[in-house]
Every structure is written in structure tokens, then in C-alpha cells.
A and B are shown apart, each in its own frame.
Chain A
Amino acid sequence: MVWEQVVEFLGDAATWSGPGSIPGRLWEHVWVSVLATVIAVVLVFPLALWLGHIRRGAEVAGAVVNIGRAIPSFGILVVTVMLLLELGVSVLSVWPVLVALVALAAPPVFTNTIAGIQGVEPATVEAARGMGLTEGQLIARVEMPLASPVILEGLRIAFVQVIATATLGALVAWGGLGRFIVDGFSQQNQGKVVVGAILVAILAVVAEIGLSMMQKASTPRGLSPGIRESPNVS
């Protein structure tokens, strides 16, 4: 029964072209996920970099990721929608989804950046200072490259979580791949639901693999194989 619905859904021309189509929703889903992650990075990366560099705020970083995980994205989404309705913003706006996803992406990026920078051997940092590097050069040429595996891990975790959670947008009339899941449920069309869910899963896996490869490729050659564990054990 489900299989028949899947075949029927995939065989329908409307599924493949037009605003409600798979390519359309896929594009919506991807650009919102990318945008939310980029905004999160812009917001928290500089602060985390600085805190990491001055070796402060490790406990704060831990608390941030724990609290961040506990905050329900759906809750943020609905509250933001209601707020924007009060302000007269269009109900179909992407802002509630963006806000909820940025709130989701920020903690792993923040915490992993601090932990990564602080994980650089103090002796290495001291040696670099001794060689006459300015603080800025220290951050850019020593700390960041050495911390990059852990930082990129945080980015990877954030991005994959955002992709999976962007499906919630469909619950407040937004689009994205969640639309197939929500509409399929309303129409009792399990085929649609299954297709939507699998597409999200594929997207998340592709992002995971892609960023993993980037992580490995950008690890400086001089770094020992035993890379420090990031605090975000996923």
C-alpha cells in the first residue's frame, strides 16, 4: 500500500516541476540550512575564537551546548511565528525557521571553537609567541589551523542537525522537504511521507560525508594522528 503510494507520488509530473516539487522543496531546504549555519557561525565564531584564545570560558562553553540542546526548536519556531504575526510580518516568512535553526546551530559551533582553540598545546602557543608572532598572527597561523579539525567537527554537527530540523518549518506553513511529511500526513498519503523522510535523510548523510571529507582534507599535515576528541560526542 505504502509502496504503491510512493510509486504514484514519484510518477506524478507535478512532483518534479513547479513550486511544490521535489527539486523546489529541496532547494528551499538546502539554502535555509546553509544560511542558518552561516549566520550562526558569523554570530558566535568571533566570540568563541577570542574566548578560546584568551583561555577563558570553557565551563560556559559546556553549559551553552547543554542548554542549547535542551531548547526545543519547535518551541522557538512557534513563539517566533506568533511574535512576527503581532508585528505584521508575512505568515509565510522564512524568519521563524531561520531563527529556530540559528539557535540550534550556534551551540555546537561555539563550544567546539572554544574547545578546539584551547586544545592547542600551550607550549606551542608560547613557542610561537617567543618567535615574535603577534596575537593576530598567532590566532590565524597557529591556533586556528591546529584547532581546525575540532572546529570543523562542530560545524559538521551543526549543519547536519539543521538539515534534519528544518523539516519543522512545514508545521508553520513554511516549505522545505518537511512539506511532504506534513502534507502527506494530513492527506494520509504514507508514500509522500516516506519520500519526504528519505530525502531529508539522504541530504543529511550527504552533508555529513561531505563535511567529514572537508574536515580530513583541512587537517594540517603536521598534526599527529591522535586528534583531540571534541566535547561534542555525537
Chain B
Amino acid sequence: MRRVFRNRAVGAILILALVATSCGSGDSAAGEPITVGSFNFNESVIVAEIYAQALEREGYDVERSMNLGNREVVKPALESGEIDLVPEYIGTIDSFLGGSPTSDAEATHAEAKALYEEQRVTLLAYSPAEDKNAYVVTGETASTHGLATISDLEPVAADFKFGGPPECPEREFCLQGLQTLYELEFEEFVPLDAAGPITVAALEGGDVDIVLLFSSQGVIAEKGWVVLEDDKGLQPAENLVPAIRLEVVEEHGIDLTSLLDEVSQKINQEDLTEMNKRADIDGEDPAVIAGEWLDENGY
């Protein structure tokens, strides 16, 4: 008698477990949840949080995959559907898709959008805010060697150590571009992080002479560092733009896209730099920074 009861109890628990696991996670009346992802640097997390929280405040079901990695990791994740939305940059994504980005934002955006739609991902409206690769030296280095533009590096490059993220030597707008367009050969490439605290500390401590940072980072001005001017125009237009899977757009329609477009329009260059400063220098939480920006902008 006891054994029969125990077997039935086990059976009931197993069936319950089967039902519970097959229910999946978070399907709600708002439809499938939208997974928002970001790259592995503060600005990306902040902007992704802005989109994520804006969606949540409008009643959408949102899941997060922040700090996933660099584009080599994030792009496949978006294309395969592991994430649905990620804040991209028009120039670099156009280049990754095989296009030819220029400083013309409109044309670059149109080309990138057409190319990406072949892979069932679209780009919505782009933001006025940009973030380009910036090649940065300390104030002393700039004045000692008379450096104002990237071309000025030519006589000293062989004695300079270059610090950047590990993917930099393989990137068209990073070391590869400096080698082909500017014909610069540095003494050594030192792999650090993606314009994060390790890169900042390395330049400050003199472990490297020049680093890759991002043009919208507040830390550059804070430390009195110098961004070398891109006199040969290596960097294309790099406006922020949400990359989103077409399936999600088709499911949610114009309500979703017009919300995201509106948010993108409101993110301006000053706001972006200010938010970056709060995250990079003051060490504030990107999610909190994003929430406060949304509060201030009427969401």
C-alpha cells in the first residue's frame, strides 16, 4: 500500500516537473519577450539599458543579455536569435557586413540596413549621437613629440607601444587601418580590454604610449589626454542605431519601432558623453544611469 502511494507520488511529481519545464519562460500577454543585448563596454550597456527600460515602461516583456562580448560574439548571437536587439554603430556594422562606410551617415545607414536585412535583421532610425574609435595619447606625449594628428605619429610609431582590445589587430578601423591607410608600424601591440579600466590604467601608468579609446568617453577630457585627429578619414560615421531582428519588428509592428526611433532621436552627443563619464569615472551602475536618463526625458 505504502509503495503504491510512493510510486504515484513520484509519478505525479515527474509529470508536474515535465509540465513546468515545457511551459518555458516569460511568455506573457505582451507576446514573446524581447531579449536586449549589449557589447562589453559601459556605453553599450547604458544605451541597451535605455532601450530595455523604455520598452519595459511601455509594457513590453524584456530579457537582458548585457556585456556579452565584442562584435565577433554579439553579431552571431543577434543573427541566430539568441538576442533580439542590440545598439549598433552604423559605420562598423556596415563594414562588418561587407559594405563601404563613409562619413555620410545617411548613405552608410542605408547601405548597412539593406545588407543586414538579407540576414533578417534591420536597422531602425539612427541617433544623432556618435561614438568612433579614438587614438589617444597623454598630454605630455603629445607635446613632447608634437602630435596633433594620426599622421604625426609616423616618425615615432616604431618606438610606441599600442594598447587596445585583443581584436584590434584584426579590425579595419583599428590597427589594420592604421597600418594600411596611415602606414604606421608600432613597436608592439599590447592586448588590454575594450576601452575599459585596464586600458585607462595602462596609458596613465605609461605601460603603453597610445591606446584605443572611444570618442564619447568622458575620461579623455578628465585626464587631459589628447585625441589624435583622424586627418586621413579612417573612421566613418558611427551613429548609434538599434539593430533588431525582423521577426520581432513583424510581431510587434509600428508601435515598437516608433518608440525605439523616438528614444534614439533623444539620445544626443552631450547626454552620451555625460552618461559615459558617470559610468567610467564615477563608477555608477549603467542601469541606474539609463533609468535616470529616461526619467529626465519623459519616459
| A-side contacts of B169, CB under 8 Å | 187
B190 and A173 within 8 A (CB): yes
A182 touches B205 (CB 8 A): no
Q: Mark B183-198, 1 if CB is under 8 A from A, else 0.
A: 0000011111100011
| Alpha-carbon separation in the docked complex, A19 to B190 (Å) | 10
Q: How far does the Cβ of B201 sit from chain A's closest Cβ, in whole Å?
A: 4
A128 within 8 A of B: no
Tell me if B58 is interfacial: C-beta within 8 Å of chain A.
no
Across the interface, which residues of B come within 8 angstroms of A170, CB to CB?
Answer: 191
**Interface size for chain B: under 10, 10 to 19, 20 to 34, or 35 or more residues?**
20 to 34
Is residue A223 contacting chain B, with contact meaning CB distance below 8 A? no
The reply on B228 being an interface residue by CB < 8 A is: no
Given A173-B198, A186-B166, A187-B72, is A179 in contact with B205 using a C-beta cutoff of 8 Å?
no
Distance in angstroms between the alpha carbons of A179 and B201 in the assembled complex: 19
Give the interface SS of chain B, mostly helix, strand, loop or mixed: mixed
In the complex, what's the smallest C-beta–C-beta distance from B283 to chain A, in angstroms?
11
Are A186 and B70 closer than 8 Å at their CB atoms? yes
The answer to whether B205 and A88 touch across the interface, beta carbons within 8 angstroms, is: yes
In the complex, residue of chain B having the shortest beta-carbon distance to the beta carbon of A186:
B166
| Contact B198 A183, beta carbon cutoff 8 Å | no
**Any A CB within 8 A of the CB of B167:** yes
Q: Is B207 an interface residue (CB 8 A)?
A: yes
Q: How far is the CA of A99 from the CA of B215 in the complex (A)?
A: 35
Q: Which residues of B contact A19 (CB under 8 A)?
A: 188
Q: Produce 1/0 per residue, B23-58, CB < 8 A to A.
A: 000000000000000000000000000000000000
A186-B72, A186-B165 as given contacts; A85 in contact with B197, CB under 8 Å: yes
Q: A90 with B205: in contact, given A173-B190, A179-B191, A186-B167 (CB under 8 Å)? A: yes
Contact partner, B166, options A85, A91, A92, A183, Cβ 8 Å: A183
Interface residues in A60-118 by Cβ distance below 8 A to B read: 81, 85, 88-92
Known: A88-B205, A182-B166. A173 touches B197 (CB 8 A): no
The distance in angstroms between the C-alpha atoms of A188 and B76, with both chains bound, is: 11
The complex places the Cα of A67 from the Cα of B188 at a distance, in Å, of 41
Q: Counting CB contacts under 8 A, is A6 at the interface?
A: no
How close is B125's CB to chain A, nearest CB, in angstroms? 30
Is the CB of B170 closer than 8 A to any CB of chain A? yes
- If A172-B198, A173-B190, A188-B72 touch, whether A92 touches B167 (CB-CB below 8 Å) is no
What secondary structure prevails in chain A residues at the interface with B?
loop
Task: State which residues 118-151 of B face A: CB under 8 Å.
Answer: none
Query: Shortest Cβ distance from A31 into chain B, in angstroms?
Result: 19
In the assembled complex, the Cα of A178 lies from the Cα of B260 at a distance in Å of 40
Say yes or no: is B114 at the interface (Cβ < 8 Å to chain A).
no
Interface string of A3-31 (1 = CB under 8 A from B): 00000000000000001100000000000
For the complex formed, measure the closest distance between the CB of B174 and the CB atoms of chain A, giving whole angstroms.
11
Contact A85 B201 (CB under 8 A): yes
Structural contact, B207 and A91, CB atoms closer than 8 A: yes
Q: Chain B nearest CB: distance from A21 CB in Å? A: 12
Q: Is B202 a contact of A92 with CB atoms below 8 Å?
A: yes
Min C-beta distance of A8 to chain B, whole Å: 13
- Are the CB atoms of B201 and A91 closer together than 8 Å? yes
Contacts of A91 in B (CB 8 A): 192, 198, 201-202, 205, 207
Q: Is A173 within 8 A of B72, CB to CB? A: no
Tell which of A170, A183, A187 has the most Cβ of chain B within 10 Å: A187
> CA of A172 to CA of B197 in the docked complex: distance in angstroms?
10
| Residues of A166-185 contacting chain B, CB below 8 A | 170, 172-173, 179, 182-183
Q: How far is the CA of A91 from the CA of B191 in the complex (A)?
A: 12
Within 145-204 of A, Cβ neighbours of B (below 8 Å) are at 170, 172-173, 179, 182-183, 186-188
The CA of A186 and the CA of B174, in the complex, are separated in Å by: 14
Q: Which residue of B lies closest to A19 (CB)?
A: B188
Indicate if the CB atoms of A92 and B207 lie closer than 8 Å.
Answer: yes
Q: In whole angstroms, what is the CA distance A172 to B202 when docked?
A: 11
B202's partner among A20, A88, A173 (CB-CB below 8 A) is A173
CB distance from A132 to the nearest CB of B (A): 60
Which partner residue on chain B sits nearest A183 by CB separation? B166
Q: How far is the CA of A85 from the CA of B198 in the complex (A)?
A: 9
Nearest 5 pairs of A and B residues by beta carbon: A186-B166, A91-B201, A188-B72, A183-B166, A186-B167
